Amino acid sequence: MGWNELYRAGRARHGVTSVRMAQRAGIPRATYLGRVQRDGWQRRHPKVWLLPGTVRSGEVDLAAAREEIGPPALGARLTVLSLSGLVRPPRRPELLIPHRRAFRGYDDIALVRTTFTEIANAETRGDRVTVALAIVQAAAVLAQERLLGVMIDARQQRLASVEQVAALTSAMTGIPGRRALLQVIRQLGADGSDSMLESMFRAEARRRGLEPSAEPTLVATGTGPVRLDVTFSGGIAVECQGYAFHATRTDLDRDARRTNAIALLDQWLVLDLTWDRWMHDRDAFFLDLAAAHRQRAA
């Protein structure tokens, strides 16, 4: 306990110390404040000082901001992207906090509120959100062209895949910048597909030795033509049910009508693929697809 303990804790936090850390080390508040002022420690926030010799960096700024705010604040948005080398550092560290938690305003820290707490908890890497979630958050403040560049760089550096960003975007309806983000996702997945899920499924099917249609197939029904997302020989089709395009009552009604129209033809065996199935049960879905091929061949 004491100053040695505080120094060890500070070095583990990129040189960041605070009144709270000092008290945990058994140092009275007045003693701590007296020393940091007497020795000229660099003050970063009202309750946070840097150990002597600490060099400012993005990591230091993030650690200092988190120490000032306290849990459950996480590095977010442009701060995470800058620490990954994808954008320039923001003017203020950006932290993600729960929407309903009360925090006072800060001039030198940007607080990004979220109602998607469960997703944020799942998309955490240590003291920050994942690059994929940071990209989704950054859609609110980056121009579409810049967002495209960030996603390309993240994919090339294997920091985040288009698939990961697409899944988060589909699940997080109503977020700022979502429309532009969806357009970027479609652009990166452009291969004749109507959706990112469809594009990724086609690519994976080919990787597994299957021969999916190159683009959606137009089929005539009693109520007019409908498009089947991905078709295979033998009258097998896969419908890719992305949340972004099946989220409203109108969407559900339209899909139910087209599903019934296809069923009445009695010539197509249709399997539905959702984002959750794609992300968490992909191999089992391809087993279902193989069973459909066997059934048609019998």
* pLDDT band (50, 70, 90) for residue 91: very high
- pLDDT tens-place string over residues 32-57: 999 999 999 999 999 999 999 999 99
Residue 192: pLDDT over 60: no
| Strand, helix or coil for residue 250 | helix
| Strand, helix or coil for residue 202 | helix
- Asked if 176 and 99 sit in the same domain, the reply is yes
| Strand, helix or coil for residue 187 | helix
- Asked if 176 and 287 sit in the same domain, the reply is no
Average pLDDT along the chain? 89
- Asked if 63 and 171 sit in the same domain, the reply is yes
- Asked if 212 and 278 sit in the same domain, the reply is yes
Most confident listed range (55-64, 224-233, 273-282): 55-64
Q: What's the pLDDT score for residue 203?
A: 85
Q: What's the pLDDT score for residue 245?
A: 52
What is the distance between the alpha carbons of residues 132 and 81, in angstroms, rounded to a whole number? 9
- Asked if 173 and 208 sit in the same domain, the reply is no
pTM of the predicted model as reported, rounded to 2 decimal places: 0.68
CATH code where residue 239 lies: 3.40.960
- Asked if 72 and 140 sit in the same domain, the reply is yes
In the block, tokens 């040695």 appear at: 4
Q: Which residues constitute the domain of residue 248?
A: 197-297
The answer to whether 70 touches 45, Cβ cutoff 8 Å, is: no
* pLDDT band (50, 70, 90) for residue 199: confident
* pLDDT band (50, 70, 90) for residue 102: low
Question: In degrees rounded to 5, what are phi and psi of residue 296?
Answer: -70, -30
- Asked if 143 and 222 sit in the same domain, the reply is no
- pLDDT tens-place string over residues 130-178: 999 999 999 999 999 899 889 988 988 899 988 899 889 888 888 899 9
Token duo for residue 207: 């990787």
Give the DSSP letter string of 118-183.
HHHHHTEETTEE-HHHHHHHHTTTS-HHHHHHHHHHHHHTTS--HHHHHHHHHHSTT-TTHHHHHH
Measured between its terminal Cα atoms, the distance across the chain in Å is: 75
The CB-side HSE value for 63 (13 A sphere, CA atoms) comes to 21
Could you count the other beta carbons within 10 Å of the beta carbon of residue 211?
9
Alpha-carbon separation of residue 243 from 247, 251, 274 (angstroms): 6, 10, 8
- Asked if 240 and 165 sit in the same domain, the reply is no
Give the rounded distance of the alpha carbon of 168 from its chain centre: 5
- Asked if 40 and 128 sit in the same domain, the reply is no
Give the chain's domain count.
3
